[in-house]
Amino acid sequence: MEIAAGLGLPVSITKVLLSDLLAAGRVSARHPHKATLIDLDILEQVLVGLRNL
């Protein structure tokens, strides 16, 4: 879930809030982990489900 949507705040205010929290050392930021394995079976099931819509 997007942070701004979860808080019910505009994105611009959320960016300022997070920037202030980061500067104060209250939160940390990092790059998301990339999936190491792609489960082709799950992707196939998603495609089948989408086609059945």
- 53 pLDDT above the threshold of 80: yes
Is pLDDT at 36 greater than 70 in this prediction? no
pLDDT value for 24: 95
- Whole-prediction pTM value? 0.53
The more confidently predicted of residues 18 and 38 is 18
Show me where the domains of the chain are located.
3-51
Mean residue pLDDT of the chain comes to: 87
Q: What is the DSSP string of 13-49?
A: HHHHHHHHHHHTTSS---PPPPPS---HHHHHHHHHH
